[in-house]
C-alpha cells in the first residue's frame, strides 16, 4: 500500500523475552524502512527517553510498571494502570497514537485492548488473526487464540473481520473465505461447524465452503476461520512442522561430502525458503474487532519481527482497517 500519510504507533518497549534490546533495534529498522512512521515508545523513562533523544521520529512516553509474561492477564491489567501495555492502549484510545504494538503478555494485551480501546460496535468477540505463507500467496487464519470457544455467530463475525483484513493487508479485493472442518461437505464437522457453515453461506461474501486441515498450508482460500483453540493448535503445528522439516533438510544436506556440495548450490534458494517460513517475517497478529489497531507479537520476537509488526500496523491504519471492519459488520447486520 502507498505510504500516503504519517502513522504513529505506540510501542511497548518492555514487551517480549528479548526486550528492550530487540524492540529498540526493531523500531530503528522500521523507522528506516518507513520515513513516515512515528513511534511513541512506552516504558521506563531511563530506557525510552535516551532512545527518543537519538531518534527525532520517536516520542518517549513514561510508564512506571511492566506486566510480566507469567502474570494473570486481566488481573495485571486492572492492577497495573501505569504499565507499558495499558499506557500504550490508552494512547490509541485518546487519539495520541494510531496503533499499538507489544510482544509482551498476550492475554494482557488482549485484555487491555478490549477494556481500554473498547470493541467496534456490534462485535461480540475480538479475534486474533495471523498471516501465513503458501507457495504463491499469503493467507489469513483466525482465530488463533483469543477465544478458546466460539459460537456460530462468532465464527461468522470472524469471517467478516478476516475478509476486511485480507483486503487491507493482502490487497485482495474480493477475498475467499473457508471454514475449517473435517470434510468439504456442508454436513461434515461438529454441530457448531455445520451451523456456522449454513450462516456463512447466507451472510459472508466469498464464502467457499469448508476447508480441511491438509488444504490450509497451501492457502486454498484467502481466509480460514475457526475457533481460537483449534486455530492456535493449527498455527503452532504448522510453525513446528516448518522448523522440523528445515532442520531435517539441513541434516540431510550436511550428511556427506557430496551432500555438502549440493547444499552449496541450493543455499540461496533454501535461505529464501527459510526466510519465507520464519514467523518473524509476519511480525505480529492483529486483534480484530477492537476499536483501534492492536498488533500482538510473539513473546520471542526479535528485531525483524518488531520491524515487520510496525509495518503491518502502519498498513492497517493507512488502509482504515477498523472502519472497514465496522462497515462490513454493519452491512451484514443490516
Amino acid 5: pLDDT: 87
Question: pLDDT (tens digit, 9 = 90+) per residue, 204-226?
Answer: 999 999 999 888 888 889 999 99
Q: What grid cell was written down for 322?
A: 477498523
pLDDT at 293 over 90: yes
Average pLDDT of span 297-306 = 90
Question: pLDDT (tens digit, 9 = 90+) per residue, 75-129?
Answer: 999 999 999 999 999 999 999 999 999 999 999 999 999 999 999 999 999 999 9
For residue 309, name the pLDDT band (cuts at 50, 70, 90).
Answer: very high
Amino acid 283: pLDDT: 73
Query: Mind listing the domains of the chain with CATH numbers?
Result: 1-123+289-319 (3.40.718.10), 127-280 (3.40.718.10)
pLDDT at 1 over 60: no
Amino acid 290: pLDDT: 96
The C-alpha atoms of residue 71 and residue 107 are separated, in whole angstroms, by: 9
CA atoms within 13 A on the CB side of 215: 20
The C-alpha atoms of residue 193 and residue 198 are separated, in whole angstroms, by: 9
Query: What percentage of the chain has pLDDT greater than the value 70?
Result: 93
Question: pLDDT (tens digit, 9 = 90+) per residue, 229-264?
Answer: 999 998 888 878 777 777 777 777 777 877 777 767
pLDDT at 330 over 80: yes
Mean pLDDT score of the chain, rounded to an integer? 90
pLDDT at 8 over 80: yes
Cβ-contact 325, 289 below 8 angstroms: yes
Amino acid 42: pLDDT: 98
Amino acid at each position: 500500500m502507498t505510504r500516503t500519510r504519517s502513522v504513529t504507533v505506540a510501542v511497548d518497549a518492555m514487551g517480549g523475552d528479548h526486550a528492550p534490546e530487540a524492540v529498540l533495534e526493531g523500531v530503528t529498522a522500521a523507522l528506516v524502512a518507513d520515513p513516515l512512521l512515528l513511534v511513541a515508545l512506552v516504558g521506563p523513562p531511563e530506557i525510552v527517553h535516551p532512545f527518543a533523544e537519538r531518534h527525532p521520529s520517536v516520542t518517549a512516553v513514561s510508564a512506571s510498571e511492566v506486566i510480566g509474561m507469567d502474570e494473570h492477564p486481566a488481573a495485571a491489567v486492572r492492577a497495573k494502570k501505569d504499565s507499558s501495555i495499558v499506557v500504550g492502549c490508552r494512547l490509541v484510545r485518546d487519539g495520541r497514537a494510531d496503533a499499538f504494538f507489544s510482544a509482551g503478555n498476550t492475554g494482557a494485551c488482549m485484555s487491555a485492548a478490549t477494556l481500554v480501546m473498547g470493541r467496534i460496535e456490534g462485535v461480540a468477540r475480538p479475534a486474533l488473526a495471523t498471516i501465513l505463507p503458501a507457495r504463491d500467496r499469503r493467507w489469513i487464519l483466525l482465530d488463533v487464540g483469543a477465544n478458546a470457544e466460539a459460537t456460530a455467530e462468532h465464527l461468522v463475525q470472524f469471517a467478516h473481520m478476516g475478509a476486511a483484513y485480507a483486503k487491507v493487508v493482502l490487497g485482495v479485493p474480493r477475498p475467499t473465505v473457508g471454514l475449517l472442518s473435517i470434510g468439504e461437505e456442508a454436513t461434515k464437522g461438529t454441530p457448531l461447524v455445520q451451523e456456522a457453515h449454513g450462516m456463512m453461506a447466507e451472510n459472508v461474501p466469498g464464502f467457499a465452503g469448508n476447508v480441511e486441515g491438509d488444504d490450509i498450508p497451501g492457502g486454498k482460500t484467502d481466509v480460514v476461520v475457526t475457533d481460537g483453540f483449534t486455530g492456535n493448535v493449527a498455527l503452532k503445528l504448522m510453525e513446528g512442522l516448518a522448523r522440523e522439516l528445515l532442520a531435517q533438510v539441513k541434516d540431510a544436506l550436511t550428511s556427506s561430502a557430496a551432500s555438502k556440495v549440493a547444499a552449496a548450490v541450493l543455499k540461496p534458494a533454501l535461505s529464501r525458503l527459510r526466510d519465507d517460513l520464519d514467523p518473524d517475517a509476519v511480525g505480529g497478529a492483529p486483534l480484530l474487532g477492537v476499536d483501534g489497531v492492536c498488533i500482538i507479537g510473539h513473546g520471542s520476537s526479535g528485531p525483524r519481527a518488531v520491524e515487520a509488526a510496525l509495518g503491518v500496523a502502519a498498513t492497517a491504519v493507512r488502509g482504515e482497517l477498523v472502519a472497514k471492519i465496522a462497515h462490513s459488520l454493519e452491512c451484514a447486520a443490516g
